[in-house]
Chains A and B, each alone.
Chain A
Amino acid sequence: MVDQPAAEPRAGAGGQPYFRCSNMQSYYGESYIVQGVGFEIDKGEIVALLGRNGAGKSSTLRTIARAHAPHLEAGEIWLEDQPLHKMAAHQAAQQGIQLVPEDRRIIPGITVEENLILAQVAPPRGWDLERVYALFPRLGERRKQEAITLSGGEQQMLAIGRALARDIKLLLLDEPYEGLAPTIVAEIARTVEKVKAEGITTIIVEQNALAALRIADSAIILDMGEVVFRGRAQEVLDNEDLREQYLAV
């Protein structure tokens, strides 16, 4: 393991790390997917969670979001002083965790606006809808349109807008650039910067590792369900061997 401690202390109020997970072990049925993953994150940090296909990146995000699958068997997950490992998905979401899944999971059969309204049913509420539309004007123009008919880029905007409609503390972005045109990728990257400016901590999982590293403060590399690197994003960009070994880029 290439363990590089971050330069800054990862402490939130009261001396505890803002986000901390340790020894997370989760399973899809009998398959052991996340094998003792643990790391800490500062408040407001953007972390790129990287690794090859099958390294356990998306499963790690889903585990943190307390998804039904993969099922967390052992380990602890803390957001500030809240033990997420003891919560169901909806309870974790109410504590400020927001997963934007890999395939965006725009809910079919309802409109763009209804997708956003749905995000504000449970407390705590975040941005109001007009603010989301101001950030993504195209969503405002299509507010009455069935959400599933949006383009891929617009769906990604809706997925992020839906997250911002909640008062979130930790945003989990799973493959936000997947299948998107370069102009849309740039727009999503600018949005992530705006999210950071709001003080929201972000973990971004992305196959396009270089794109993720360019906006990230730090990076975690997973291999075979375990953390093999934790350090600054720039270190990964500068270390060709590391990228070659674990990211194949």
Chain B
Amino acid sequence: MNDLFLTVLAGLQIGAIYAMLALGLTLIFGTLGVVNFAHGALYVIAIYAAVQVAINVDFTVALIVVPLFLFVVGVVFERGVIRFFYDRPHTDQILVTFGLAIVVEEVAKWLFGANNIPFPRPDWGDGVIIFYGPGAVIPPVPVFQEAPQLWLPFIDGFVTFDYWRIILIGVTIVAVSVLFYLLQFTRFGLIVRAGMRDSDMVQFLGINIARRFAMVVGLGAAIAGVAGLFGGPILGVTPDQGMKLLVPSFLVVVIGGMGSLAGAVLAAVIIGLSLAFTADNPDIQAVIIYLIAVVVLLFRPRGLLGRKGVFE
């Protein structure tokens, strides 16, 4: 039971980063109809911005500055590039955003080198968390005694898990919840949801949808910023991180259903768990995402929660 629990946690942690990136991707696709292959580049900008602020100032400052900075980057990206490609074929959108991603990767390499930059975790996120069950005896050593502890009835004895990864899962849950709240229960969300379904009609009602679309890209970029802040210390800070994460994140979007936020989260959890449960067999792990994509698309061509008419 302990192994199963730890594997599920590992799966959720892997899925968490994919979920945050896939949410941004699917949000941008769902509203603008743009396939944004530069989303990984936004993550790259985020990890470098985060590590620089964390090293030179403080991680707590990075917590505020990085998502805001990425929001601005997203808005500038939409106003400066994406908006000129709304009416162009998806192939053009992919080419320009993919090209931009390469430019960002090379600029990062030029500025910071190709090697990993160590990303120090803040003190409050260091160490492990202890999950313990009935009758567990936790060794009286400082590293265990000072660690956060959580009682769970199904744990045999006790197990430890990297505390930062638990924080990442928690942050993802908060980010997803905030995004859902924003889209479901606010006026901005109503406009965006309506714009996702019929942007022309929304404009006929006097609403400047272009301004909201720019904010949507900013929002997607800000979530990538959060992913970079909390993912950087785990996955490392290298220029190729964006490309590494882009393909699985894009598959998460496809499996979940293009433009479906709930689908993206569901697919991210499925993919994360699949990767965690196949961790002992690297050969299977290397292809499991693609296998899942093939099976899902065979039986549900629009993805798990995809809607008719999107990307068709």
Q: Which residues of A contact B (CB under 8 A)?
A: 65, 67-68, 88-90, 93-94, 98-99, 101, 105, 107-110, 114, 117-119, 121-123, 162, 166
Contact = CB atoms under 8 A, between A and B. Distances in A.
A118 B198 contact: no
Contacts of B193: 109-110
B190 interface: yes
Interface in B193-224: 193-194, 196-198, 200-209
Given A114-B190, A121-B191, A108 B207 contact: no
Contacts of B244: none
Contacts of B206: 90, 93-94, 121-123, 166
Contact of B197 (A109, A117, A166): A109
Nearest to A95: B206
Contact of B203 (A89, A108, A123, A162): A89
A123 B191 CA distance: 14
Contact of A119 (B197, B205, B209): B205
Interface string B28-52: 0000000000000000000000000
A101 B203 contact: no
Nearest to A165: B205
Contacts of B191: 118, 121
Nearest to B209: A90
A109 B31 CA distance: 14
Contacts of A67: 200, 204
A108 B194 CA distance: 8
B187 interface: yes
Interface of B: 187, 190-191, 193-194, 196-198, 200-209
Contacts of A88: 203
Contact of A105 (B187, B201, B209): B201
A101 B190 CA distance: 21
B143 to A, nearest CB: 51
A67 to B, nearest CB: 7
A85 to B, nearest CB: 16
Given A114-B190, A117-B190, A121-B187, A99 B197 contact: no
Contacts of A123: 206
A48 B206 CA distance: 24
B266 to A, nearest CB: 18
Contacts of B197: 107-110
Given A110-B190, A118-B190, A90 B201 contact: no
Given A118-B191, A118-B205, A121-B205, 19 more contacts: A67-B204, A68-B203, A88-B203, A89-B204, A90-B203, A93-B203, A93-B205, A94-B206, A98-B204, A105-B201, A107-B194, A107-B197, A107-B198, A107-B201, A119-B205, A121-B187, A121-B190, A121-B206, A123-B206
A28 to B, nearest CB: 13
Nearest to B86: A68
B204 A93 contact: yes
A90, A94, A98, A105 — which one has the most chain B CB atoms within 10 A of its CB? Answer: A90
A105 B195 CA distance: 12
23 contacts: A68-B200, A89-B203, A90-B204, A90-B205, A90-B209, A93-B204, A105-B200, A105-B201, A107-B201, A109-B193, A109-B194, A109-B196, A109-B197, A110-B194, A114-B194, A118-B191, A118-B194, A118-B202, A118-B207, A121-B205, A122-B206, A122-B207, A123-B206
Contacts of A166: 205-206
B190 A89 contact: no
A123 B205 CA distance: 9
A107 B175 CA distance: 27
A90 B212 CA distance: 13
A110 B191 CA distance: 10
Nearest to A94: B206
B157 to A, nearest CB: 49
Contacts of A89: 200, 203-204
B200 A107 contact: no
Contact of A101 (B196, B202, B204, B209): B204
A13 B111 CA distance: 64
B169 to A, nearest CB: 29
Nearest to A114: B190
Contacts of A118: 190-191, 194, 202, 205, 207
Contacts of B203: 68, 88-90, 93
Contacts of A108: 197-198
Contacts of B190: 110, 114, 117-118, 121
Contact of A121 (B198, B201, B204, B207): B207
B205 A162 contact: yes
B174 to A, nearest CB: 25
Nearest to B201: A105
